[in-house]
């Protein structure tokens, strides 16, 4: 089995896949569509981060691809519907770098409140300006979280432990942790909090949702952070709010357009703006997080190829498939009535002895794992692949 890992996947992931019998090829950066199509020929497992985009065209050309691992949180760079239609399992790391993102957010809030970037720049320029003017503690200040998922909720707990009053807004009803208070609307949150931090997902509906109108609704001289997705913020509107002084500082880690590789020039309207912290999409990039992500996602990929386990798959029904003796068949199919009965009847016709069977469904697809005792007639597999409902069949 061949694995291709792009974008500097941590060596933990490379080592785990190699130990599990994969022939691993690594590349340091992301690939464009044409180069990616060429690189995927003969590849069974692909590992990417956020800068590699798996379009429907790429997936259509990847005939041997069985699984994709997003060694990050988001999967909006992957055409998930197309991957599902072609029977390609997708895994990610929804929890492994949460703490790293939270710690960066806290550090940036403090840095902006104390104008550390401005002090640092002046010191490097040889200027000694010792003053308390404009510098504040974050204790007693209010933090507004737009999105209260894994990262937002953990940031809520840490910020509260530092003495901040936390407000949050989420389109899904979420239980407040500690003394955090839920805001009834985004407008209410923006009016309440002195610092606003975005922690929303990459769904298309979130594109450009935070713009001039939302910045105008924020409290005067407030702080703003975006460590979620670059395309959710109107950068020009943020620049205007900073230049006018309405927003006193900003920290941005994600951008709608980012360089594909290290060393390429980064261009953005926010460059050179005072009290703005710009970081190159590194909120989750700590050694600890990348070690955890490397091991976690690589393990999920190997488990899927070896045993058909789809636990924590983003797009396939979840089946915890512990490997026993004998042969194993996995069958991904359209979720319509009667498929399981048809599979059992077909295999019985070839004298196949099924000793274990697990079925799960998710949306439009179903996934069944069958353990077989004794001989397995190759013609039975051909017959399974010929069923009109079949998306993908694998023998493990």
Active site amino acids: 229, 258, 281
Asked if residue 224 lies in contact with residue 250, where contact means CB atoms within 8 angstroms, the answer is yes
- The tokens 């004794």 sit on which residue? 374
- Yes or no: say if 329 and 321 are a contact pair by the CB < 8 Å rule: no
CA 211 to chain CA centroid, nearest Å? 23
What SS3 class is residue 343? Answer: helix
- The number of beta carbons lying within 10 Å of the beta carbon of residue 12 is 18
Chain centroid to CA 150:
12
Exposure of 27 by Cβ count < 10 A (0-12 exposed, 13-18 middle, 19+ buried)?
middle
Which tokens in the block code for residue 251?
């920290």
Distance of alpha carbon 68 from alpha carbon 83, whole angstroms: 9
Spatial contact of 304 and 91, defined as CB atoms under 8 Å apart? yes
* Residue partners of 61: CB distance under 8 A and separation at least 6: 37, 40
Tell me which DSSP letter residue 332 carries.
Answer: E
Three-state secondary structure string covering 258-293: CCCCCCCCCCCCCCCCCCEEECCCCCCCCHHHHHHH
User: What is the number of other CB atoms lying within 10 angstroms of the CB of residue 35?
Assistant: 11
């Amino acid at each position: 089995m061949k694995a291709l890992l792009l974008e500097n996947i941590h060596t933990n992931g490379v080592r785990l896949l190699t130990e599990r019998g994969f022939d691993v090829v690594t590349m340091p950066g992301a690939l464009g569509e044409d180069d990616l199509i060429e690189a995927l020929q003969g590849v069974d497992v692909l590992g990417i981060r956020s800068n590699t985009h798996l379009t429907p065209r790429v997936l259509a050309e990847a005939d041997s691809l069985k699984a994709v691992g997003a060694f990050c949180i988001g999967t909006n760079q992957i055409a998930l519907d197309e991957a599902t239609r072609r029977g390609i399992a997708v895994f990610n790391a929804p929890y492994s770098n949460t703490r790293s993102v939270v710690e960066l957010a806290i550090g940036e809030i403090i840095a902006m409140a104390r104008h550390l970037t401005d002090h640092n720049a002046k010191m490097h320029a040889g200027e000694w300006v010792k003053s308390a003017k404009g510098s504040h503690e974050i204790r007693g200040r209010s933090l507004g979280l737009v999105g209260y998922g894994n990262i937002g909720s953990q940031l809520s707990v840490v910020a509260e432990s530092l003495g901040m009053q936390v407000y949050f807004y989420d389109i899904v009803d979420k239980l407040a942790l500690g003394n955090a208070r839920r805001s009834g609307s985004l407008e209410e949150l923006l009016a309440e909090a002195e610092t606003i931090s975005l922690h929303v997902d990459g769904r298309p509906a979130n594109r450009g949702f935070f713009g001039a109108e939302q910045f105008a609704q924020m409290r005067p001289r407030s702080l703003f952070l975006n460590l979620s997705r670059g395309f959710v913020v109107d950068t020009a509107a943020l620049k205007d709010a900073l230049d006018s002084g309405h927003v006193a500082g900003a920290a941005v880690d994600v951008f709608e357009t980012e360089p594909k590789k290290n060393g390429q020039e980064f261009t953005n309207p926010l460059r050179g703006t005072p009290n703005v912290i710009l970081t190159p999409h590194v909120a989750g990039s700590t050694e600890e997080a990348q070690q955890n992500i490397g091991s976690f996602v690589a393990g999920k990929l190997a488990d899927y190829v070896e045993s058909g386990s789809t636990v924590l798959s983003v797009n396939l029904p979840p089946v915890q498939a512990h490997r026993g003796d004998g042969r194993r068949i996995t069958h991904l199919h359209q979720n319509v009535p009667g498929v399981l009965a048809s599979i059992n009847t077909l295999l019985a016709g070839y004298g196949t002895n099924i000793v274990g069977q697990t079925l799960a469904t998710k949306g439009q697809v179903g996934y069944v794992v069958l353990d077989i005792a004794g001989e397995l007639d190759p013609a039975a597999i051909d017959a399974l692949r010929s069923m009109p409902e079949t998306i993908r069949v694998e023998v493990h």
